């Protein structure tokens, strides 16, 4: 384990890059760890003496913060704050910053990619050609995006981008959000509807809301039952937004044409059963994972740490307690 006079700790293998590392080293001694700490004791041992910690994957709760009295700031390499107990951090006077909007383009493009993949059956027909080592003219017909209605649930930065991309494909767009975006109405002719009406009237529904206590499992059997048997569900947000058992029942029972999922809960049997279905396309939670998005993420994470040290923090989710 590295021994260094700590001020800034890169806690868990973040691919910080030479340029960002040099920027941090100009402000203090930087200690880098190449893997994720396995225990609370290991987290504390790594971060002891640090004023600033850069964190990608490490869970930091009250038991960590109470043992690090010198810690002033955690810079998360993420837009979400799942890995940090924000209330505990604030209670111990630790500022927490995140990286918003770094993957807007990456996630929205994957959403369109999943639509195309599941509606045209791209993975399935790819497999047929590979297995036969021949052109297969008996492959099933796909479905075009053009002329279909897309329902965007959540019109924040990513949802707005998806709506605009879908409009370029010739799709009609409807949406649901507690705070409608008038620019989408003006520019795309988009209509905001109630949540049930979005599910009932859309050929494709794409989810773009955060996972919270209120949104956990909100796409339930009732909402899925409103969808046409010819409709598709796309989820590039968290798996927990959807009741997996209800989704499996709809897909396997012919009550839904298909789904494109960038996240799946494999701790439940329903997740494993979804993997057996040919009308579902999966990606392993890679919505954010493009070269451009990851570079932006790391740069902003380093920026957040440096701005905090300069006395002007931004992207703050946990203000230091008074």
Give the per-residue pLDDT at 145.
Answer: 98
**Protein fold of 104-282:** Rossmann fold (3.40.50)
Helices (H), 133-281: 157-168, 182-188, 195-201, 221-226, 244-252, 269-274
75 sits in which H/E element: strand 73-76
How does residue 319 score in pLDDT terms, banded at 50, 70 and 90? confident
How does residue 2 score in pLDDT terms, banded at 50, 70 and 90? very low
The answer to whether domain 8-102+292-318 and domain 104-282 are alike in fold is yes
Largest Cα span, the chain: 69
Q: Exposed (0-12), middle (13-18) or buried (19+): which is 159, by Cβ within 10 Å?
A: buried
- pLDDT tens sequence across 9-37: 999 989 999 999 999 999 999 999 999 99
Predicted TM-score (pTM) of this structure: 0.89
Point out the least confidently predicted range of 64-68, 132-136, 182-186, 300-304.
Answer: 132-136
Cβ 232 vs Cβ 137: under 8 Å: no
The domains of the chain are located at: 8-102+292-318, 104-282
Backbone φ and ψ for 282, nearest 5 degrees, come out as: -115, 145
CATH architecture of 8-102+292-318: 3-Layer(aba) Sandwich (3.40)
Please give the average per-residue pLDDT across 205-226, as a whole number.
Answer: 96
Task: Give helix 104-120 / helix 122-132 axis angle, nearest 10°.
Answer: 60
Q: Is the pLDDT of residue 322 over 80?
A: no
How does residue 5 score in pLDDT terms, banded at 50, 70 and 90? very low
């Amino acid at each position: 384990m590295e021994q260094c006079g700590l001020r800034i700790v890169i806690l868990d293998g973040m691919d910080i890059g030479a340029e960002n590392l040099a920027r941090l080293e100009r402000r203090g001694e930087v200690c880098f760890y190449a893997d994720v700490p396995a225990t609370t004791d290991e987290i504390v041992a790594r971060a002891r003496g640090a004023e600033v910690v850069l964190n990608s994957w490490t869970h930091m709760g009250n038991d960590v913060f109470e043992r690090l009295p010198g810690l002033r700031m955690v810079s998360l390499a993420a837009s979400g704050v799942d890995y940090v107990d924000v209330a505990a951090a604030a209670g111990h006077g630790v500022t927490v910053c995140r990286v918003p909007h770094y993957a807007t383009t990456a996630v929205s493009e994957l959403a369109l990619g999943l639509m195309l993949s599941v509606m045209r059956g791209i993975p399935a027909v790819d497999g047929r050609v590979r297995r036969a080592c021949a052109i297969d003219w008996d492959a099933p017909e796909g479905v075009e995006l053009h002329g279909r209605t897309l329902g965007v649930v959540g019109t924040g930065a990513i949802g707005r981008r998806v709506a605009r991309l879908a409009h370029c494909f010739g799709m009609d767009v409807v949406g649901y959000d507690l705070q409608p975006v008038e620019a989408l109405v003006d520019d795309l002719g988009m209509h905001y509807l109630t949540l049930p009406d979005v599910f009932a009237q859309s050929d494709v529904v794409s989810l773009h809301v955060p996972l919270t206590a209120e949104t956990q499992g909100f796409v339930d059997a009732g909402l899925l039952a409103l969808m046409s048997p010819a409709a598709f569900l796309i989820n590039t947000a968290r798996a927990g937004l959807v009741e997996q058992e209800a989704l499996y029942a709809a897909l396997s029972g012919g009550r839904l044409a298909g789904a494109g999922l960038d996240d799946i809960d494999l701790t439940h049997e329903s997740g494993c059963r979804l993997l057996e279905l040919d009308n579902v396309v999966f990606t392993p939670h890679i919505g954010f994972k493009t070269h451009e998005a990851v570079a932006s993420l790391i740069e902003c994470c380093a920026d957040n740490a440096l701005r905090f040290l300069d006395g002007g923090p931004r992207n703050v989710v946990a203000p230091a307690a008074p």
